């Protein structure tokens, strides 16, 4: 993992000192809220519905055990004993008190963490594939590039007052697990003529106007990467709409100007900027790469894993859903679910954080990851250790076998916490997960991604859920719109809206109707919900959702057509 | 024709804790909506809000619609209901602090 150098350490400490003084001046009345607000937002401190919220960056989702233990310490000392992992690989504390924030930031700095640029109109925390450095399908580890971008973008003097926030994601694998095409800039690391470079995607984003990112340049060598990114952001910084915040994101700029014009402007700017970099970026990248050298994977027999798999059906079920292929022989990637039915997606208690840290230290080469799907990853686990890990997770309430299934739901904080929300999302996730647990249909339904947002800003990525749910305020009542067929992978698709929304107490039954229809209509158990939707289209699901609104004849026809398809 | 003014409470968040607070009849900030003053006249509500907005110990003061209930003001919108009680996913907002003190909370 990357270790702070003297510059990083001094920068983060000086920012803690600066913000501590700003907090003191706010408390003694020297600063008004109007003056303080932009300062606190630059340091990740929001004021939400019930309390302050501190958003702490977990760069590219990577943590070591000491950092996870410090997050547990902060949760217990200054908050209510838990933290919330978000859809951008951050952790949020929901209940900090303003006078405690300087101490929290000091504790974070002690383990090389901070909350800088987790808010405001800046380049935000750079996210990456949560299986980075471990995935069997990886072309290149995205973390060194993500760290390089983090260093370049942190406190970048030109990019502290951008038209709007700016999000970057990096993937280095064949499968996109980082929702790259929904970012302002997304990078797919690729190999071309024995050289690693990046395909640059621009103008993706969800929110009010969802758009799939477009290819800005098919291949940029790593030696050109930072000047190319700087050119892209600086072109947008000048063109981006500052008159209307709803039209300020780069996706709108690309849409209004056209990708060809943007590409030409970026190329011109790149030619101006390139000489200024002078190769220092590549020297930095070489140093960063050394910090991400793979751990010394051990060679050992995997019999304990195979024996447990044969003997223990609970272990087998967990192994079937929560393990992914690792690049090293004998190893597996473990995804630890935070989605036990009935629990709040992404919430992990301080005690659970310590268990996870202990497992990483003892078995996992001291590495943990946070996924944008709000789960925790142990990326490097030898299969021989999996039975012991499963037992420890079970004891800590973390052994739910549901990764990628109906109850592994992404949900934003929604109106239970967020001041922007128009409806709740967490209780909807809890309700769906609990209902399908009661029906014992979780494994029968198979792979499914449900994503829920409590407002149009789409932090819950509902547009790219196989089933997306958007909570709105309709005349003072919570109302939920459903979209179907979304896909957050490299083949990104924005889901289609089914029709009128559903009241809070109708949304779980509505999802149940969709999924029971799917079970009835699928050609075979191997046909996933998304595949069935692509084959059948909206009609049969709409008929199931709105039975009263479809005439009996229409509904019958839709169903017959679906069966015949 | 001007719209009918519906009762309002003045609400904000406390500077230090971030807690939801309401202005009471004595001009003090309290954490229980039932203790809040409900303004029924627009001019008085706006004057009180202007005063509250100058208070450095409160953040983001605004007028929230309320109705007059048996025990004091009550929210008319679900957002204000959540602000009054706390999150609905856990019982760890104001519900916890007020648990057992009043069945209405």
- State the Cα–Cα distance between residues A91 and A296, nearest whole angstrom: 29
Inter-CA distances, A313 with A141, A308, A318, A319, A320, Å: 34, 9, 9, 10, 10
Could you tell me the pTM of the whole model? 0.95
Q: Is residue A209 part of a domain?
A: yes
**A49 to chain B: closest CA residue:** B83
Q: Is residue A416 part of a domain?
A: no
pLDDT band at B93 (very low <50, low <70, confident <90, very high): confident
Quick one: A337 and A366 in the same domain?
Answer: yes
End-to-end Cα separation, chain B, in angstroms:
38
Count: domains in chain A: 4
| Interface membership of B87 toward A (CB under 8 Å) | yes
Contacts of A416 in chain B (CB under 8 A): 82, 87-89
Indicate whether B102 pLDDT > 50: no
Look at residues A92, A110, A128 and tell me which one is the last residue of a structural domain. Answer: A110
Low-confidence ranges of chain A (pLDDT < 70): 549-565
Pairing of strands A91-93, A82-85: antiparallel
Among A353, A355, A359, smallest CA distance to A334 is for: A359
Contacts of A51 in chain B (CB under 8 A): 13, 17-19
**A344 to chain B: closest CA residue:** B89
User: Are B83 and A473 in contact (CB < 8 Å)?
Assistant: no
Pairing of strands A168-171, A127-128: parallel
| Interface membership of A27 toward B (CB under 8 Å) | yes
Domain at A63, CATH number: 3.90.480.20
- Do residues A331 and A317 lie in contact, with contact meaning Cβ atoms separated by under 8 Å? no
Quick one: A91 and A187 in the same domain?
Answer: no
**A25 to chain B: closest CA residue:** B56
pLDDT at A1: 87
User: Are A49 and B16 in contact (CB < 8 Å)?
Assistant: no
| Interface membership of B60 toward A (CB under 8 Å) | yes
Quick one: A147 and A282 in the same domain?
Answer: yes
pLDDT at A560: 58
Quick one: A105 and A146 in the same domain?
Answer: no
| Interface membership of B6 toward A (CB under 8 Å) | no
Mean pLDDT on B12-37: 97
Q: Is residue A361 part of a domain?
A: yes
Query: Chain A closest CA to B1's CA: distance in Å?
Result: 22
Query: Chain B closest CA to A452's CA: distance in Å?
Result: 15
Quick one: A287 and A311 in the same domain?
Answer: no
Query: Chain B closest CA to A53's CA: distance in Å?
Result: 9
Query: Chain A closest CA to B25's CA: distance in Å?
Result: 23
Q: Is residue A411 part of a domain?
A: no
Quick one: A483 and A459 in the same domain?
Answer: yes
pLDDT at A214: 98
- State the Cα–Cα distance between residues A104 and A75, nearest whole angstrom: 10
Quick one: A549 and A425 in the same domain?
Answer: yes
Per residue in A475-492, pLDDT tens? 999 999 999 999 999 999
- State the Cα–Cα distance between residues A179 and A372, nearest whole angstrom: 9
Contacts of A349 in chain B (CB under 8 A): none
Domain at A545, CATH number: 3.30.413.10
User: Are A97 and B18 in contact (CB < 8 Å)?
Assistant: yes
* B78 DSSP 8-state letter: H
Look at residues A110, A134, A162 and tell me which one is the last residue of a structural domain. Answer: A110
Q: Is residue A300 part of a domain?
A: no
User: Are B92 and A80 in contact (CB < 8 Å)?
Assistant: yes
| Interface membership of B75 toward A (CB under 8 Å) | no
Per residue in A134-179, pLDDT tens? 999 999 999 999 999 999 999 999 999 999 999 999 999 999 999 9
User: Are A476 and B19 in contact (CB < 8 Å)?
Assistant: no
Contacts of A426 in chain B (CB under 8 A): 87-89
- Residue A151: phi, psi to the nearest 5? -65, -40
Contacts of B60 in chain A (CB under 8 A): 33, 47
| Interface membership of B16 toward A (CB under 8 Å) | yes
A:B CB pairs within 8 Å: 66
User: Are B82 and A416 in contact (CB < 8 Å)?
Assistant: yes
User: Are B18 and A50 in contact (CB < 8 Å)?
Assistant: yes
User: Are A98 and B78 in contact (CB < 8 Å)?
Assistant: no
- The closest CB to that of A478, out of B18, B78, B90, belongs to B78
Residue range(s) defining the domain that contains residue A228 = 142-291
Q: Is residue A123 part of a domain?
A: no
Query: Chain B closest CA to A313's CA: distance in Å?
Result: 32
User: Are B59 and A47 in contact (CB < 8 Å)?
Assistant: yes
Quick one: A482 and A369 in the same domain?
Answer: no
Quick one: A482 and A375 in the same domain?
Answer: no
- The closest CB to that of B18, out of A29, A98, A424, belongs to A98
| Interface membership of B78 toward A (CB under 8 Å) | yes
User: Are A426 and B89 in contact (CB < 8 Å)?
Assistant: yes
Helix H, strand E, coil C: the string for A228-282 is HHHHHHHHHHHHCCCCCHHHCCHHHHHHHHCHHHHHHHHHHHHHHHHHHHCCHHH
Hey, which residues 94-133 in chain A have their CB within 8 Å of chain B?
95, 97-99
| Interface membership of A39 toward B (CB under 8 Å) | no
Contacts of B92 in chain A (CB under 8 A): 80
- Do residues A403 and A322 lie in contact, with contact meaning Cβ atoms separated by under 8 Å? yes
pLDDT at A198: 98
Using only C-alpha atoms, chain B has a radius of gyration, in whole angstroms, of 14
Residue A444: Cβ within 10 Å count: 13
Burial zone of A447 (CB within 10 Å; 0-12 exposed, 13-18 middle, 19+ buried): middle
Among A204, A303, A290, smallest CA distance to A255 is for: A204
Best residue of B15, B21, B83, B85 to probe chain A, by most A CBs closer than 10 Å: B15
pLDDT at A562: 55
- Do residues A339 and A352 lie in contact, with contact meaning Cβ atoms separated by under 8 Å? no
Indicate whether B105 pLDDT > 90: no
Best residue of B14, B54, B58, B89 to probe chain A, by most A CBs closer than 10 Å: B89
- State the Cα–Cα distance between residues A202 and A268, nearest whole angstrom: 17
Quick one: A160 and A34 in the same domain?
Answer: no
Quick one: A196 and A257 in the same domain?
Answer: yes
Per residue in B75-92, pLDDT tens? 999 999 999 999 999 887
More confident residue, B105 or A34: A34
Q: Print burial letters for A150-159: b (CB count within 10 Å at least 16), e (below 16).
A: bbbbbeeeeb
Q: Is residue A124 part of a domain?
A: no
Q: Is residue A162 part of a domain?
A: yes
User: Are B16 and A32 in contact (CB < 8 Å)?
Assistant: no
Quick one: A455 and A519 in the same domain?
Answer: yes
pLDDT at A564: 56
User: Are B17 and A98 in contact (CB < 8 Å)?
Assistant: yes
């Amino acid at each position: 993992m990357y270790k702070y150098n003297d510059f990083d350490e001094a920068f983060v400490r000086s920012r803690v000192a600066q913000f501590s003084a700003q907090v003191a001046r706010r408390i003694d009345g020297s600063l008004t809220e109007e003056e303080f607000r932009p300062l606190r937002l630059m340091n990740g401190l929001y004021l939400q519905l019930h309390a302050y919220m501190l958003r702490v960056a977990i760069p590219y989702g990577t943590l070591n055990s000491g950092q996870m233990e410090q997050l547990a310490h902060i949760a217990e000392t200054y908050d209510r004993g838990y933290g919330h992992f978000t859809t951008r690989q951050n952790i949020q504390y929901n209940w900090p008190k303003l006078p405690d924030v300087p101490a929290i930031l000091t504790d974070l700095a002690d383990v090389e963490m901070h909350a800088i640029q987790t808010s405001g109109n800046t380049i935000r925390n750079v996210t990456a594939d949560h299986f980075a450095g471990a995935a069997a399908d990886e072309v290149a580890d995205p973390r060194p590039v993500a760290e390089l971008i983090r260093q370049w973008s942190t406190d970048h003097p030109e990019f502290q007052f951008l038209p709007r926030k700016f999000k970057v994601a990096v993937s280095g694998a064949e499968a996109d697990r980082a929702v790259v095409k929904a970012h302002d800039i997304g990078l797919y690391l690729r190999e071309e003529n024995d050289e690693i470079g990046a395909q640059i995607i621009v103008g993706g984003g969800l929110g009010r106007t969802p758009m799939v990112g477009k290819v800005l340049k098919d291949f940029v060598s790593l030696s050109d990467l930072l000047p190319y990114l700087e050119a892209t952001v600086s072109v947008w910084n000048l063109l981006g709409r500052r008159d209307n915040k709803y039209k300020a994101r780069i996706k709108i700029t690309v849409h209004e100007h056209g990708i060809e014009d943007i590409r030409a402007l970026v190329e011109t700017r790149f030619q101006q900027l390139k000489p200024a970099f002078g190769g220092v970026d590549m020297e930095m990248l070489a140093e960063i790469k050394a910090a991400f050298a793979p751990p010394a994977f051990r060679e050992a027999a995997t019999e304990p894993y195979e024996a447990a798999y044969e003997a223990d059906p609970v272990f087998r079920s967990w192994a079937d859903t929560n393990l992914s292929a690792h690049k090293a022989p004998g190893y597996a990637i473990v995804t630890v679910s935070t989605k036990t039915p009935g629990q709040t997606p992404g919430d992990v208690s301080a005690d659970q954080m310590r268990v996870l840290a202990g497992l990483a230290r003892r078995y996992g080469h001291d590495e943990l990851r946070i996924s944008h799907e709000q789960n925790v990853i142990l990326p490097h686990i030898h299969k021989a250790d999996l039975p012991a890990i499963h037992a420890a997770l079970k004891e800590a309430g973390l052994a739910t076998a549901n990764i990628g299934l109906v109850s592994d739901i992404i949900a934003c904080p929604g109106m239970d916490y967020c001041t922007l929300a128009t409806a709740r999302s967490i209780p909807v996730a809890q309700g769906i997960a609990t209902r399908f647990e009661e029906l014992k249909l979780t494994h029968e339904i198979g792979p499914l991604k449900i994503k829920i947002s409590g407002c149009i800003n789409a932090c819950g990525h509902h547009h790219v859920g196989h089933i997306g749910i958007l909570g709105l305020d309709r005349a003072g009542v919570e109302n939920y719109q459903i979209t179907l067929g979304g896909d957050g992978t490299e083949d990104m698709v924005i889901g289609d809206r089914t029709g009128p929304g559903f009241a809070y107490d109708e949304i779980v039954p509505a999802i149940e109707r969709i999924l029971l229809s799917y079970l009835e209509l699928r050609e075979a158990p191997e046909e996933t919900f998304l595949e069935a939707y692509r084959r059948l289209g909206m009609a049969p699901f709409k008929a199931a959702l709105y039975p009263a609104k479809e005439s009996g004849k229409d509904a019958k026809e839709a169903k017959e057509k679906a069966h015949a398809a | 024709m001007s719209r009918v003014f519906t009762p309002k409470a003045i609400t904000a968040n406390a500077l230090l804790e971030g807690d939801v607070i309401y202005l009471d009849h004595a001009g003090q900030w309290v954490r229980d909506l039932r203790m809040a003053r409900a303004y029924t006249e627009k001019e008085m509500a706006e004057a009180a809000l202007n005063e509250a907005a100058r208070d450095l110990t409160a953040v983001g003061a605004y007028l929230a619609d309320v109705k007059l209930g048996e025990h004091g003001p009550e929210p008319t919108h679900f957002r204000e209901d959540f602000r009054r009680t706390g999150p609905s996913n856990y019982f760890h907002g104001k519900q916890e602090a007020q648990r057992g003190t009043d069945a209405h909370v």
